[in-house]
Chains A and B, each alone.
Chain A
Amino acid sequence: MNQWEVVIGIETHAQLSSVSKIFSGASTAFGAAPNTQACAVDLALPGVLPVLNRKAVECAIRFGLAIGAQVAPKSVFARKNYFYPDLPKGYQISQFELPVVQGGAITVAVGSGDKAYEKTVNLTRAHLEEDAGKSLHEDFHGKSGIDLNRAGTPLLEIVTEPDMRSSDEAVAYARALHALVRWIGICDGNMQEGSFRCDANVSVRRPGAPYGTRREIKNLNSFRFLKEAIDFEVQWQINEIEEGRAIQQATVLFDPDSGETRMMRSKEDAHDYRYFPDPDLLPLLIPADWIDRVRGELPELPNQKRQRFIAQFGLSAYDATTLTASQEIAAYFEAVVGIAGAANAKPCANWVMVDLAARLNKEGREIGESPVSAAQLGGLIQRIADNTISNNIAKKVFEALWNGEGASADEVIEKQGLRQITDSGAIAALVDEVIAANPGNVAEYRAGKEKAFNALVGQVMKAAKGKANPQQVNALLKEKLAG
């Protein structure tokens, strides 16, 4: 596979977070009874006219600014013509020649550990358009059922250059984009409900050769499917070429059950959309003061925050990426550090990324629903840092806080008597007891068996109910055994 280079471009449809549709005043709420949110405009009844939703435009501006793109002062809506029952007008209102967002780039972290690297994915454009309705092909006496609730839902279609060179890069980009649209509040990112769906354009070539013929994998609604579909498609294309068959341009679908892609339509019957400017809509004009206002309202962006975490807290790129995966995680982490202090940023990062994340994961909760508040966790980490408790005991305290057994780490430590024993005299007494009670282990250790030492440490910790400071136990035990 080394002699083949993979080339991937991604188109994403992000559903914008407006309460009404892009060209009508019907609701966009998910899950309503069929066709109860499809008004005369969405149904394309004669005589209706589209009126553009300001919120949808504002979302596009936010996105354009967040990726350093040009927000077009003037953009144009066009009709994309095709016939399908869930598209009542016979055309989709989209943007073609003059999209609202032009250019821009997203820098993403790919891989982890030693193999981690940064990759900049350039964007071609992002344009506003309306979604189609939904066709249900199940049993309606051999007919299809049409639900037009989704028709007219505002979408931002985000198109990259063919810049990605592996499925890992594609997934890293898709994840970063997913995090970004949620971060700036323009899309809820709910992939199950179809709020964020990806199409991947995939081709292979010999390094340095012109681009190969691409096939487009449609409607990937999870990151796992995105990776599996690309991996399968790449291997399929390589096999085809190596067996002497040329790739034909085509649109394919990914079947998650078989893990395979299969052809939906070839280039011969590809649509000829006959785009032209929609005479029902005037050009969209975005004055500079509107762009300036939106710029002023943008939060600190994930990449800026990521860079700041690295610079300010000395975190690794990997940690900083994980902690800026969403605004909620970043805010939680910053609140923890705010209490535990910047000097403890690394343990704060570990607690948020490892212990807290695992516990949340186990119960299927989001960080916003954590029973342990950032203030409580920060207080807990302070007590580890000042040696009041060991890391092991801290896990117990964390569990107690999770279960609501105390308002703060301090309260749990006091109530349950978990304060670490750091009094050398007290620890020395325990060490003496253990040495006296375990002559076998002592003899073994003196005979050179390191394992026996660990057994003795365990006995001391047990006698101390886990509360003895581990470093002191080790040092005292060594000292006394040597003496």
Chain B
Amino acid sequence: MSLTTEQVLRIAHLARIEVSEPEALTTQAHLNGIFALIEQMQAVDTRGIEPMAHAQDLGQRLRDDVVSEPDRRAAFQAVAPETEAGLYLVPKVIE
């Protein structure tokens, strides 16, 4: 499997990463290099082996349902570019 330049540009758009045409070509080559590695790995027979969702074969630890976080809005908003009435302000977005 290999990616077209259009696919690279689409992925870049979805990830909101600005990529110029020359960069797209370089990135395409890098990504296709990775796909080549994956293809080599796919030669290994993995029949009967359950896929893992995580590199570590462990289960998720759980926490008790307890409120442990105090209100630290003032500290968090001190580093925000713009706030008003307790809200973070961002460029207008309406879907």
Partner-B contacts on A (CB < 8 A):
18-20, 24-27, 33-41, 43, 45, 51-57, 74, 76-77, 81, 83-85, 98, 135-137, 140, 142-148, 264-265, 272, 274, 277, 279, 281-285
Contact = CB atoms under 8 A, between A and B. Distances in A.
Interface string B68-79: 110111001100
A25 B63 contact: yes
Given A40-B76, A143-B92, A264-B95, 11 more contacts: A20-B69, A24-B69, A53-B65, A137-B92, A144-B93, A146-B89, A272-B14, A282-B56, A283-B53, A283-B60, A284-B59
B66 A25 contact: yes
Contacts of A283: 53-54, 59-60
A74 to B, nearest CB: 8
A178 to B, nearest CB: 23
Given A25-B63, A35-B76, A283-B59, A147 B53 contact: no
Given A76-B53, A137-B94, A142-B92, A35 B67 contact: no
B56 to A, nearest CB: 7
B45 interface: no
Contact of B67 (A19, A36, A57, A285): A19
A20 to B, nearest CB: 5
Contact of B88 (A74, A84, A145, A265): A145
B59 A25 contact: no
A135 B93 contact: yes
Contact of A18 (B61, B65, B84): B65
Contacts of B85: 34, 145
Given A282-B56, A283-B54, A34 B93 contact: no
Contacts of B60: 52, 77, 281-285
Per DSSP, chain B at the interface is: loop
A57 B61 CA distance: 12
Given A36-B73, A277-B54, A27 B89 contact: no
Contacts of B76: 35, 38, 40, 43, 45
A349 B52 CA distance: 55
Interface of B: 14-16, 53-56, 58-69, 71-73, 76-77, 82, 84-95
Contacts of B67: 19-20, 25-27
A55 B67 CA distance: 12
Contacts of A85: 88, 90, 93
Nearest to A29: B67
Contact of B73 (A18, A38, A41, A57): A38
30 contacts: A25-B66, A27-B69, A38-B73, A39-B72, A40-B76, A45-B76, A52-B61, A53-B62, A54-B63, A55-B64, A55-B65, A76-B53, A84-B95, A85-B88, A135-B93, A136-B87, A137-B93, A140-B87, A143-B82, A143-B91, A144-B89, A144-B90, A144-B91, A146-B89, A147-B87, A264-B95, A274-B14, A277-B53, A282-B60, A285-B59
A143 B92 CA distance: 4
Contacts of B59: 74, 282-285
A84 B93 contact: yes
B77 A35 contact: yes
B87 A25 contact: no
A425 to B, nearest CB: 70
Nearest to A137: B94
A451 B82 CA distance: 80
Contacts of B63: 25, 51-54
A463 B54 CA distance: 86
Nearest to B55: A279
A146 B88 contact: yes
Contacts of A84: 93, 95
A25 B69 contact: yes
A81 B14 contact: yes
Contacts of B64: 54-55
Contact of B68 (A20, A83, A148): A20
Nearest to A55: B65
A457 to B, nearest CB: 64
Contacts of B61: 51-52, 282
A53 B67 CA distance: 11
Counting chain B CB atoms within 10 Å of each CB, the highest count among A142, A148, A283 belongs to A283
B35 to A, nearest CB: 16
A282 B90 contact: no
Nearest to A274: B14
Nearest to A146: B88
A136 B9 CA distance: 32
Closest 9 CB pairs of A and B: A25-B68, A145-B87, A55-B65, A285-B59, A34-B86, A39-B69, A54-B62, A76-B53, A282-B60
Contact of B71 (A25, A37, A51, A265): A37
A147 B86 contact: yes
B90 A143 contact: yes
B3 to A, nearest CB: 14
Nearest to B58: A282
A258 to B, nearest CB: 18
